[in-house]
Amino acid sequence: MQNWNRAFTNLIRNSRPAYWGNWALNPQIKPGAVGVVDPVSGEFRLVAADLLAVKVNDMPVSNTWLLSSEHVSRKEATMKLDGTSVDPETGTTVEAGLEVKWGLEKAGAIASEFALSHEATVDDFGSVILDNIDRLAVKAKSVSMGDGTNIAQGFGVVTGVLWAHSGLNVGSQEDSGSFSIAGSVSGINGMLGKASGKGSYLSTNQEKSIDRHLWPERSGTLAPVPVPIAYSFASFDGRLLIPNWIMPLGAFELVLVNQVGCTYIVDATLTYDTRSGPRTQKTQISGGLTKTFGDIPLDATNLKFHLRFIGMIHDDHYELHWPAPLGQWLNGQRHVDMWGVWPAATHLREREAR
């Protein structure tokens, strides 16, 4: 069975790495909502809507949202309506219409198009959450996500939401599927973020089995309120706040990749602070090899990484610094690529693991 929300989340994270998708347009997702996120699907289950008193900041965003996977085609065509169709926004009869059709050539192909409204975030959410950690721990225990003091990863608070006026998510459960919507030109363009207005459609059509979620839900109507389409989430590891939780984390890893062909040997030293005191890890790595600094605890701060490319005449030195990896290393891992051929220059590149 296709996990639509996971596939949707993966697409979103190409541009918004800290966000989860809301494929089914669950209306319970809002800033400050307390609940549980399934780490496999990313689906949100509400536990308490109003446990926290939060201040919400609204930010404008670009109007158009358009995402699609591979094996998706899109066509627009003008069409003549039957002369009895009424645009729900203007109340006037329309004869000229527009049809948008998505071809979903392979099972699992998805398309997502929305007219964005705004992005809302909880103001100073770290302080708000930590000030209420005891109340949150009690709620976590009530749903078997903690012991009343410590909180398990996956339980937490929605910290940001991307809202849309209207739009759709569609995915094909079979090869050679398709889905289309038709309506007035202004209604369809408004619905998909290509024109102002609330957006609407008058009819839909599909071929093969399609998983579909439209806003507004019914044809010939206007959406009453914006709908959440993606969200960010803060969780815990015991009493430790994980500001942008996108997956279960056990410990951090720093992976060193000395590229094939590099003629330099590199000395590497990693230092960091923990609640139990400072720690140091060291290694040496030759060209073509990969080594990992593992078991870096989640409470580690002030990570400093020093590298020395050992040269015949002089050494090249580099240093990287991460003050708070818990907020910076979303998936718990960082890669550092190294290369250089003596006596030419040495190079270093930091990147997030994929």
pLDDT in tens, 263-287: 999 999 999 999 999 999 999 999 9
Looking at residue 278, its pLDDT comes to 96
Low-confidence ranges of the chain (pLDDT < 50): none
Contacts of residue 229, defined as CB under 8 A and 6 or more positions apart, other chains included, come to: 21, 22, 25, 65, 112, 114, 162, 163, 164, 167, 169
pTM, two decimal places: 0.93
Looking at residue 187, its pLDDT comes to 94
Looking at residue 156, its pLDDT comes to 98
Q: Domain spans of the chain?
A: 4-242, 252-352
Looking at residue 90, its pLDDT comes to 83
Is it true that the peptide bond before 343 is cis, omega within 30 degrees of 0?
yes
Looking at residue 91, its pLDDT comes to 84
Q: Is the domain 252-352 a CATH 2.60.40.1430 member?
A: yes
Looking at residue 250, its pLDDT comes to 96
Looking at residue 329, its pLDDT comes to 94
Beta strands at 203-207 and 210-215: parallel, antiparallel or unpaired: unpaired
**Site of tokens 């009869």:** 93
